[in-house]
Each structure stands twice: as structure tokens, then as C-alpha cells.
Amino acid sequence: MSPVLPAFFYLGLCVLQARQAQSGPFPKPSLWAEPSSLVALEQSVTLRCQGPPVVDLYRLEKLKSEKYEDQNFLFIKNMQASHAGRYRCSYQNGSQWSLPSDHLELIATGIYGKPSLSAHPTSAVPPGRNVTLQCWTKHGFDQFALHKEGDTGLYKKHERRYRANFTIIKVTAAHSGTYRCYSFSSSSPYLWSAPSDPLVLMVTGPSATPSQVPTEVPSPITESPRRPSISPSTKVSTTEKSMNITVSPEGCSPPFGFSHQHYAKGNLVRICLGAVIIIFLVGLLVEDWHSRKKRPPPRIRAVQRPLPPLPLA
């Protein structure tokens, strides 16, 4: 057997190991809940983990417990308080594990009675105005969360007075929708109350979408009246009663030629004035550019920065 073949085999193995060492750990998988991570008691939910197409082994685990499943999903038939918490997943190819997924917070709702949600000053808001959604409860909870139907995110707030104010600055049509709020305690962050009754926030005005119908129908806009035709024999001014516009007879209007000359001179003056302003601004820009070009760039002293820590083995 030629000694060249083992040498090439050893070299290829070294290159493969070097590439694996350079690439580092496998990328983290994705973890989500179907249909939602907010699950009412006795309802079902499925946690799913997804990695690359070829995976040797999945592991889905609940943090701060010894419970895990060596598969890429977890089906919970009847949600209980014991199921609530933080979850993560990872996968294994060969002898190497991937980075763990982002944490998923599985929340059990309906543990306590529902709070109340109201809008101030009103739930029908013109675009550009501010509105405050207030969530309050008679129980001594210090945490509140606001959820908009169709959104995946939650707006959480820490309060100590049995209520929380969620203020929306300068509302737009995107803020329209159905909102609910929850209350819970910081000592049990994954056990929430039942959701409040839904509150529909409507943004009224030009920026509102067609599906968002304002509660008050605006008064119809009166169309501009057509200009009446006036014969040369008309001696009395004609008045449009609907818009209070008075039309004078032709005999009192100035001659067309004089009016045309007046407007032509005014336009010429405006054009000349605009040209002078543009030339003045261009001169300022050119002068500033020359001054910057002549000015030497400031010297920046090097800053000694500490090296980043070495990665753990």
C-alpha cells in the first residue's frame, strides 16, 4: 500500500476537524406554542421544536425541573398550573449538541378572577390623539399585562396600586383592535388571571381602515355649488344661499388684461427672488466645502481596550 494514501486520509481528517472547530456549535432551533402560549385551564396546547432537516435527537425540557422529552414536540391535553413555566429545546447531531432555543414562557390563565379594562377618555379616538387603557382589579396583584388580539407580543407593567395604565401615544389605524388585560403576582409569574372582557379600540378619521366604523357618523360634506351662468343683461348680484357666496355682475369686475398683467408681474418678482435665494445658499455651501477641505482632520488618539474573554472550552 502506498504511504501517500494514509497521508492524504490523515490530512483530510484534519481539515474536516478544523472546519468543524471553526463553525462552532450548531445553530439554535425554534420553539413555539400552538395555538398560543397563553393557555386557559383545561385547554390543550402543543409545544413544537424545529431544527435543520436532518437531526439525530431532539430534547425538549422544562427549566427548573427534571422533566424533559426526547422528541421535537410536547402535547398537553389539559392545561394545569403545574404545566406553566419556561421551556427550551435543543438537538444533537453525532456527539455535538446545538445551542438551546430561546426560552418559551407557557402561561396558564384563568387561575384568578378577571380584571376590568377601560379606555380613557374614550374607546373611539381620532388619529394622532393619546388614549390610556386602564386595567384594574380588587385583588392585591402587582403585575399586569395587556394583549391585543392578533399580536404575538404582550405589554407588561409592574404596579402596586391594584391598577395599571397603558398609554398609547399618537394612535394610528394600526392601534385599532380588540384588547384584553390580565393580572398576576410577581411571586407566580406564569399563573395569570382570566382575561378581562374585550375592549374594542377604534381609531376614527381619515387614517382609519374601512373595517373600523366610527361610532358617530360625521356630517356629510356639502359639495361646492356650480358657478351660475350670468348673462350680460344681469344687473343684480346673485347669491348662493347654501354656501353664502356672492357673485358680482360682470360690470363690476376689473378688465381681464389689467388682472393678467398684475399676476404676471407678481410671478416674475417671485421667480427672481427665489433665484437670488438659491444662489445665496449655493454660495454658502461652496464656501463651507472649501473651509472643510482646507481644515486638517483631527487626530484621534488610540484607546487601549481590554480583550474579550476567551470562550469556554
Q: pTM score > 0.85 for this model?
A: no
Residue 275 — pLDDT band, cuts 50, 70, 90?
Answer: confident
The rounded percent of the chain whose pLDDT value lies above 70 is 66
Task: Give buried/exposed letters for 53-71 (b at 16+ CB in 10 A, else e).
Answer: eebeebbbbbeeeeeebee
pLDDT score recorded for residue 209 = 45
| Mean of all residue pLDDT scores within the chain | 76
| DSSP-assigned beta bridge partners for residue 57 | 92
pLDDT score recorded for residue 252 = 40
pLDDT score recorded for residue 264 = 63
Where is average pLDDT lowest: 37-46, 210-219, 246-255? 210-219
- pLDDT tens string 235-269: 333 333 333 333 333 444 444 444 455 556 677 77
CA distances (Å), origin 241, targets 224, 244, 276: 12, 5, 47
Q: Which CATH number fits domain 113-203: 2.40.160.20, 2.60.40.10, 3.40.50.1370, 1.10.3720.10?
A: 2.60.40.10
pLDDT score recorded for residue 237 = 39
- pLDDT tens string 116-129: 999 999 999 999 99
How many Å apart are CA 175 and CA 124, to the nearest integer?
11
Region for residue 110 given its phi and psi (left: phi exceeds 0; alpha: psi -120 to 50; beta: otherwise): left
Question: Dihedral through CA 6, CA 9, CA 13, CA 19, nearest 10?
Answer: 140
The C-alpha cell of 304 is what?
487601549
The C-alpha cell of 240 is what?
348662493
3-state DSSP assignment of residue 27: coil
How many Å apart are CA 103 and CA 86, to the nearest integer?
6
Instruction: Give the domain ranges of the chain.
Output: 26-109, 113-203
Q: How many residues does the chain have?
A: 313
How many Å apart are CA 143 and CA 184, to the nearest integer?
5
Can you spell out the DSSP letters for 281-308?
A: HHHHHHHHHHHHHHSPPPP------PPP
Is the pLDDT at 3 greater than 80? The verdict is no
From the list 38, 85, 90, 46, the residue with the least C-alpha distance to 64 is: 85
- pLDDT tens string 146-173: 999 988 788 888 887 788 999 999 999 9
The CATH number of the domain covering residues in 26-109: 2.60.40.10
Helix runs in the chain, H state only: 4-23, 256-294
Amino acid letter, residue 129: R
Residue 24 — pLDDT band, cuts 50, 70, 90?
Answer: low
How many Å apart are CA 158 and CA 112, to the nearest integer?
18
pLDDT score recorded for residue 296 = 57
Is the pLDDT at 93 greater than 90? The verdict is yes
How many Å apart are CA 306 and CA 4, to the nearest integer?
47
How many Å apart are CA 53 and CA 55, to the nearest integer?
6
Residues in contact with 50: Cβ distance below 8 Å, sequence separation at least 6, in sequence order = 29, 30, 31, 72
Residue 280 — pLDDT band, cuts 50, 70, 90?
Answer: confident
Cβ count within 10 A of residue 122: 14
113-203 shares the fold of 26-109? yes
Is the pLDDT at 193 greater than 80? The verdict is yes
